[in-house]
Amino acid sequence: KAGVTQTPRYLIKTRGQQVTLSCSPISGHRSVSWYQQTPGQGLQFLFEYFSETQRNKGNFPGRFSGRQFSNSRSEMNVSTLELGDSALYLCASSSGQNTNYGYTFGSGTRLTVV
Amino acid sequence: AQSVTQLDSQVPVFEEAPVELRCNYSSSVSVYLFWYVQYPNQGLQLLLKYLSGSTLVKSINGFEAEFNKSQTSFHLRKPSVHISDTAEYFCAVSISGNTGKLIFGQGTTLQVKP
């Protein structure tokens, strides 16, 4: 069974641009969460989607947005990129409605903003 | 609000020695507890989790963790480490019944030396 797939693996963008990252969850999983990982702030929760609805949101500015499609694939978008947005962005999927089912993470997209 | 503290940022240890990675959490409500491992340039892999029941939980590769409610701790232990255990380890909590949001500690780098 395929794992969580994130594309692209690496991305270099210029300050002020926007970027879209993609996440394909494990087949049958309906919950997708996104995290930002940086050396300074560690792993921080961005948002979570279940059946195309955002159920939970972290403390990030409105430049960070996401969505989930009917096939459970998810995208996150960052507009007006800042240097501080350089990070590893991780997507995680779960089969259940609660975190007790456990989350499976993808390998991440490493975004570098120059 | 919930928070997680991993008391050691780096733990160096010789191969075949025992190791303990410490994790304390703060929460006014019931939580689920997790340990994840991250190898270089990869995503997070679930090592083990505590949801309810027996306070001692074990992974398939020899790690174990004990939930201590009175001390609000969930320390990770292994009686004999291997070089291949070298990685970063993250402790995480989620609110029981909540959706999608994991709160992570800052991580502990386990360095196993030959």
pLDDT digits (tens, 9 = 90+) for B92-103: 998 766 667 889
Check A43 against B90: CB less than 8 A apart.
yes
Q: Which residue of B has its CA nearest to A95?
A: B100
Higher pLDDT, A99 or B33: B33
Whether the predicted pLDDT of B63 surpasses 70? yes
Check A107 against B106: CB less than 8 A apart.
no
- Band the pLDDT of A15: cuts 50, 70, 90: very high
Whether the predicted pLDDT of A103 surpasses 90? no
Q: What is the mean pLDDT of residues B9-25?
A: 97
Q: Which residue of B has its CA nearest to A98?
A: B99
Report the 3 state secondary structure along B2-67.
CEEEECCCEEEEECCCCEEECEEEECCCCEEEEEEEECCCCCEEEEEEECCCCCEEECCCCCEEEE
Check B98 against A56: CB less than 8 A apart.
yes
> What is the pLDDT at residue A56?
87
DSSP secondary structure code for residue B112 in this structure: E
CA atoms of B31 and B46, how far apart (whole Å): 17
Higher pLDDT, B90 or B41: B90
